[in-house]
Chain A
Amino acid sequence: MASRSAAIPIGHRFAAAARVSIPTQRLLWVVAGLALAVLPHLPHLALWTTSFAAAGAAVRIMIEVKQWPLPPRWLRILIACGALLGVLFTYRTLNGVEAGTALLVVMAGMKLLETRTVRDLTVIVFLAYFALFSAFLYNQELLRLPYMLLCAWLLTATLMRIHQSAADMPVREAVYLTGRMFLQALPLAALLFLFFPRLPGQFWAMPARSQATTGLSEEMSPGDVSELSLSGEIAFRAHFEAALPPPRERYWRGPVLHDFDGRTWRTARGGFIPQPLEIQGESYDYRVTLQPHQRRWIFPLDVVTGWHGRGISRSADFQLLSRDPIATMSSFELRSGTRYRIGGPLPQVMRNIDTRLPPQRNPRSIALAQSLRERSGSDAQFIEAVLAMFRDQDYFYTLEPPRLAADSIDDFLFNTRRGFCEHFASAFTVLARAAGIPARVVTGYQGGEFNPMGGYLIVRQSDAHAWSEVWLEERGWVRVDPTAAIAPERIESGIDAALSEGEPVPGRMLRASPVLSQLRLAWDAANTFWNNQVVEFGEPQQRWLLQRLSIDHPRWEYLGVALLVTLIGFFAILSSWLAWRFRPRPRDPVASVYDQLCAMLARRQMSRRPFEGPNDYLIRARGALPQLAAPLEEIRSLYVGLRYGPEPLDSALSRLKFLVGRLKV
């Protein structure tokens, strides 16, 4: 203790005295506000950063309570450097949202350690505002908004309280006053939000956040899709302009896998030549809104034929890819067909890729395929025979398949016989390749839950699916879904119906109760509306809004002028409201009548002298103006009675008003 005080330089003596000027309560409020603002960051910040800030707050509160001196300057500088290095070491950068947020939190903890003036407290409140702001960069969910508004409100109320130099303002008053100011600012903020021009694209590229997400990937091993199916997370939503495709046609195409190493399927790079595509049935126009999954796939319905947007391309195997990983919630306007023909001859390169099998792997399966092919008259008959095998023999569709040996297809086909869609798709594709038929595995999603309240399909991770495509000479690429053979319910009505009671399907309990199910759908509809109308509000919505205001060709100059005019109007309204609030207090009616009388008599050269009371004055006036003697006498007695007498009557006041009013004439 003694050495600590000795370490404080002389110049800090005054500062130590000033420290007393922060009441403990204000410090606690600021710490609480900071904690509320940092709370949303807990899941994605390194634990030590938040612990550091919490420790800073705890130490500072202890200092306040125990009246210890603040830590000396060299120690603070040392801690600050350590914290900075810590952030640099943890995140390898100081640029970007994550490192920036971590730095912010650490800085707030640092600042707390040296807080002694109102200005320091204010800086912490500002840092807390920034923390609120950066929380939106992570997550823009519907529920975030009320939380953030509440936090901003409380922080601002705290700001008001720490700027009270007089006695502490009651919390309730500060919260009330600040809330009223927020409400007054709200219209202006809303106008700015709606009409402030949005710039397309980033003007300052920042490193993307690395975030572990669930979703389909470049490779598929046995158990991957079934594991994904355990997640009830939403993958994307699809709004259709017109009718929805029937459930059995809802195949959402994701990664197409070509390379097989005996266990794992992978995407292939290069070697693909576009083949002619011919759409036969009707097309569907729809909008897909993807949750961020940090990968490039956009999941279109079956085969996509039309798309908007820059940086989007369709590969030769009909994957739809975005140039950049999808890091934020994004919408895409798409057009797809579900009846199509991918014709022409199959280029040799592609045939080679899609018939390749790893040598010396899965020998029993290859033998089985070759014998089956010999017995079948054609490729199509072979496919039928394989599907019939899955259907008629004792193969089971389950979310919890046993683990497979190195030759996974052999093990699955001849031993375990229990599998999820990826097992069947994988086995089928291997069998087809072994029979000389070009085949590939397609992963994606199948199905989707229709939300009648929002009019869109919700596709979850639990709808993840894998199927096959085979090349038939006369028909081109044809989708073959072995899961449809073993568990047709999966395709028609989803995973719930296809699996037995004991299987751990996510959300099954929720779907079992109609009320909960309705609530869930309503909540999802609200979230979707939120996402489409607020989170994704941008240039198109602004253009639509302007068109509704019959501004067809908006020019930014006009918009600027309009914004300025709105601003002035807003201020005029605010000013007049404030002027009305601060209008003078009403005067006592008796006093104002008396003032009126005095003014009237003054005009007749009978001014009241400063020392004259009503009796003296009015008696003098009565003497000087004999023609008014009678009313003046009555006025005098009425006024004295009203002013000084007990329990004045209303009638006396109205009589007084009447008499004074008549004097005017």
Chain B
Amino acid sequence: MNPAQTAPAENTNLAVGKRPCSRPGNRWGNRLIGILRGRIRAWARRRHGVDTDPVILSARRIYIVPSALGIAFALMLLLMFLGAMNYANNLALGLTFMLGALSLTVMHHCHRNLAGLRASAAASRPVFAGQRARFRIALENTARAVRHEITIANEEGSAPAVRLGAGERAILELELPAPRRGILKLEHFEIATRHPFGLFRAWAFLHMDLGCIVYPCPGARGLPPPPMETDTGGAQDLRRGEEDFAGLRSFHPGDSPKRIAWKNYAKEQGLHVKQYAGTAVTSHWFSWDSLPGMDVEARLSQLCRWIEDAHAAGHVYGVRMPVVDIPPNVGPAHRQRCLTALALFDPGTSRG
């Protein structure tokens, strides 16, 4: 595993599976459809309630309507039918009936393509405010037949459709803008398919309890971090320190790249981490109280910036918040813990 992977490098605003569908001429139509869709969704929610995790799509919660193409196809069939009847042309009529029967058959295929699908929430990676949260939803085909062209969608767009073989599982991602820190909820989404020919769209409304943690947006790199403090207190883990080399241990994901024994790695002795012993630990304390005179969000942003920088530099750091104290440590789990504390910080507690 490459330790560099754990570094925070998610600043790019990737648009995965966004399907931009706004054509200027269709704006009013889209808005109308959006309102209608919202009404139907609300009704479906009242009907089915909030979903458990995992949820298995029963046939009765799958809705199906002809798509615009399906309506065009129906109009074409109607024209063909009139023509065939007018000319009393049996073969033309036969072709029309064949295509008509096919479209009705296809409707069932489209519906069944979704029925019985198993959906569950997969862990969504936290993002910083201002980025797009990507909710991950795992779809599993427990049936013996292949399911084609399954996608998830919300009003923001849809994920690229996937093919699920018998027993296969896939994780699909859905994006939602995350403007504010805290927990972003994916209130609703649809599992949809247009499988055989795009003539019908079958979908199910899902209301699962899906959340994604949104860290505060890291502030500008202006303010220098507070100086390192050497903590000789007994709160520290005895085995960890920064003074004397105490030996090597095997690498665990999350170890600082600075401590990797690269020489040993170059000698092909495996990836090891140098361990130091001693009671003294030099660490940053990022404290809420050290930033007076700023508003809550700015403070959090600044703390976030310091945490990110310290993490990137491999420094040891701890966070002091009005309610929680996170002792100094290193590693992605620690970073996540600290940032989550910032994300979920309730300003009401700071005064109390």
Render B188-212 as a binary contact track against A, CB cut-off 8 A, 1 for contact.
Answer: 0000001111100000000000000
Smallest distance from the beta carbon of B88 to chain A beta carbons, Å?
7
Given the complex, which residues of B lie within 8 Å of A535, measured CB to CB? 90-91
* A130–B105 touching, CB < 8 Å: no
Smallest distance from the beta carbon of B28 to chain A beta carbons, Å?
19
Given the complex, which residues of A lie within 8 Å of B84, measured CB to CB? 133, 136
* A537–B90 touching, CB < 8 Å: yes
Q: How far is the CA of A237 from the CA of B145 in the complex (A)?
A: 52
* A160–B197 touching, CB < 8 Å: yes
Within 8 A of A (CB), among B92-108: 92-102, 104-106, 108
- Contact partner of A122 among B80, B92, B163, B198, CB < 8 A? B198
* A534–B197 touching, CB < 8 Å: no
Known interface pairs A584-B144, A585-B142; A166-B97 also in contact (CB < 8 Å) = no
Within 8 A of A (CB), among B159-184: 160-163, 166-167
- Contact partner of B143 among A137, A203, A583, CB < 8 A? A583
Smallest distance from the beta carbon of A469 to chain B beta carbons, Å?
37
Q: Is A129 an interface residue (CB 8 A)?
A: yes
* A165–B101 touching, CB < 8 Å: no
- Chain A: interface residue total (CB-CB under 8 A): 61
CB-based nearest B residue for A575? B108
* B97–A582 touching, CB < 8 Å: no
* B94–A137 touching, CB < 8 Å: no
Residue among B80, B84, B143, B198 with most chain A CB within 10 A: B198
* A136–B143 touching, CB < 8 Å: no
Q: Is B11 an interface residue (CB 8 A)?
A: no
Q: Is A145 an interface residue (CB 8 A)?
A: yes
CB-based nearest B residue for A149? B98
CB-based nearest B residue for A162? B198
Q: Is B73 an interface residue (CB 8 A)?
A: yes
Q: How far is the CA of A123 from the CA of B76 in the complex (A)?
A: 11
* A165–B91 touching, CB < 8 Å: no
Of the candidate stretches B109-117, B280-288, B327-335, the one touching chain A is B109-117
* A192–B100 touching, CB < 8 Å: yes
* B197–A585 touching, CB < 8 Å: no
Within 8 A of B (CB), among A265-293: none
Q: How far is the CA of A146 from the CA of B218 in the complex (A)?
A: 68
Q: Is B246 an interface residue (CB 8 A)?
A: no
* A163–B149 touching, CB < 8 Å: yes
Smallest distance from the beta carbon of B274 to chain A beta carbons, Å?
34
- Contact partner of A166 among B87, B109, B161, CB < 8 A? B161
Q: How far is the CA of A42 from the CA of B51 in the complex (A)?
A: 58
Q: Is A126 an interface residue (CB 8 A)?
A: yes
Q: How far is the CA of A152 from the CA of B106 in the complex (A)?
A: 15
Of the candidate stretches A176-184, A415-423, A445-453, the one touching chain B is A176-184
Known interface pairs A152-B95, A185-B101; A534-B143 also in contact (CB < 8 Å) = no
* A186–B98 touching, CB < 8 Å: yes
Q: How far is the CA of A550 from the CA of B99 in the complex (A)?
A: 30
Render A148-166 as a binary contact track against B, CB cut-off 8 A, 1 for contact.
Answer: 1100100010011001111
* B108–A130 touching, CB < 8 Å: no
Known interface pairs A166-B160, A585-B142; A202-B101 also in contact (CB < 8 Å) = no
Given the complex, which residues of B lie within 8 Å of A193, measured CB to CB? 90, 93-94, 97
Q: Is A227 an interface residue (CB 8 A)?
A: no
Given the complex, which residues of A lie within 8 Å of B151, measured CB to CB? 165
Q: Main secondary structure on chain A at its contact with chain B?
A: helix
* B196–A585 touching, CB < 8 Å: no
- Contact partner of B89 among A140, A166, A181, CB < 8 A? A140
Given the complex, which residues of B lie within 8 Å of A602, measured CB to CB? none
Residue among A137, A165, A534, A581 with most chain B CB within 10 A: A165
Smallest distance from the beta carbon of A370 to chain B beta carbons, Å?
56
Render B138-152 as a binary contact track against A, CB cut-off 8 A, 1 for contact.
Answer: 000011110011010
CB-based nearest A residue for B118? A584
* A148–B95 touching, CB < 8 Å: yes
Known interface pairs A184-B105, A199-B85; A163-B112 also in contact (CB < 8 Å) = no
Q: Is A2 an interface residue (CB 8 A)?
A: no
* A118–B100 touching, CB < 8 Å: no
Q: Is A571 an interface residue (CB 8 A)?
A: yes
- Contact partner of B102 among A118, A140, A156, A202, CB < 8 A? A156
Render A572-583 as a binary contact track against B, CB cut-off 8 A, 1 for contact.
Answer: 001100110111
Q: Is B69 an interface residue (CB 8 A)?
A: yes
Known interface pairs A165-B160, A165-B161; A583-B194 also in contact (CB < 8 Å) = no
Q: Is A536 an interface residue (CB 8 A)?
A: yes
Given the complex, which residues of B lie within 8 Å of A137, measured CB to CB? 83, 87, 89, 92
* A136–B101 touching, CB < 8 Å: no
Q: Is B33 an interface residue (CB 8 A)?
A: no
Known interface pairs A126-B73, A182-B98; A163-B92 also in contact (CB < 8 Å) = no
Render B60-95 as a binary contact track against A, CB cut-off 8 A, 1 for contact.
Answer: 000000000100110010011011111111111111
Known interface pairs A133-B95, A152-B98, A189-B101; A578-B109 also in contact (CB < 8 Å) = yes
Q: How far is the CA of A189 from the CA of B94 in the complex (A)?
A: 7
Q: How far is the CA of A586 from the CA of B162 in the complex (A)?
A: 23
Q: Is A538 an interface residue (CB 8 A)?
A: yes
Smallest distance from the beta carbon of B97 to chain A beta carbons, Å?
4
Q: How far is the CA of A538 from the CA of B86 in the complex (A)?
A: 13
Q: How far is the CA of A126 from the CA of B87 in the complex (A)?
A: 21
Given the complex, which residues of A lie within 8 Å of B142, measured CB to CB? 584-585
Q: How far is the CA of A616 from the CA of B76 in the complex (A)?
A: 67
Q: How far is the CA of A178 from the CA of B196 in the complex (A)?
A: 8
Q: Is A144 an interface residue (CB 8 A)?
A: yes
Given the complex, which residues of B lie within 8 Å of A375, measured CB to CB? none
* B196–A582 touching, CB < 8 Å: no
Q: Is A198 an interface residue (CB 8 A)?
A: yes
Smallest distance from the beta carbon of A263 to chain B beta carbons, Å?
40
Q: How far is the CA of A583 from the CA of B141 in the complex (A)?
A: 10
Q: Is A364 an interface residue (CB 8 A)?
A: no
CB-based nearest B residue for A182? B102
* A140–B76 touching, CB < 8 Å: no
- Contact partner of A582 among B93, B143, B148, B149, CB < 8 A? B143
Q: Is A432 an interface residue (CB 8 A)?
A: no
* A163–B194 touching, CB < 8 Å: yes
Within 8 A of A (CB), among B18-53: none
Q: How far is the CA of A119 from the CA of B86 in the complex (A)?
A: 30
Render A519-540 as a binary contact track against B, CB cut-off 8 A, 1 for contact.
Answer: 0000000000000001111100
* A181–B80 touching, CB < 8 Å: no
Q: How far is the CA of A119 from the CA of B194 in the complex (A)?
A: 13
Within 8 A of A (CB), among B121-144: 142-144
Q: How far is the CA of A7 from the CA of B347 in the complex (A)?
A: 57
Smallest distance from the beta carbon of A534 to chain B beta carbons, Å?
6
Q: Is A644 an interface residue (CB 8 A)?
A: no
Given the complex, which residues of A lie within 8 Å of B195, measured CB to CB? 163
Known interface pairs A133-B96, A140-B89, A189-B94; A119-B144 also in contact (CB < 8 Å) = no
Q: How far is the CA of A328 from the CA of B89 in the complex (A)?
A: 9
* B104–A156 touching, CB < 8 Å: no
Q: How far is the CA of A595 from the CA of B73 in the complex (A)?
A: 50
Given the complex, which residues of A lie within 8 Å of B89, measured CB to CB? 136-137, 140
Q: Is A74 an interface residue (CB 8 A)?
A: no
Within 8 A of B (CB), among A52-88: none
- Contact partner of B80 among A130, A160, A165, A204, CB < 8 A? A130
Q: Is A600 an interface residue (CB 8 A)?
A: no
Given the complex, which residues of A lie within 8 Å of B148, measured CB to CB? 164, 169
* A582–B116 touching, CB < 8 Å: yes
Knowing that A144-B91, A186-B101, A189-B94 touch, tell me 15 more A-B residue pairs with CB under 8 angstroms. A119-B69, A126-B76, A132-B95, A134-B92, A169-B148, A181-B106, A189-B101, A193-B93, A196-B93, A534-B91, A538-B88, A571-B108, A581-B143, A582-B145, A585-B167
Query: Top 8 A-B pairs ranked by shortest CB distance?
Result: A185-B101, A188-B101, A136-B92, A163-B198, A189-B101, A582-B143, A578-B112, A185-B102
Q: Could you list 20 examples of A-B contacts with CB < 8 Å? A: A122-B198, A123-B72, A129-B99, A136-B95, A140-B89, A148-B91, A159-B197, A165-B149, A166-B161, A181-B105, A188-B104, A188-B105, A193-B90, A193-B93, A204-B86, A538-B88, A538-B90, A582-B145, A584-B144, A585-B167
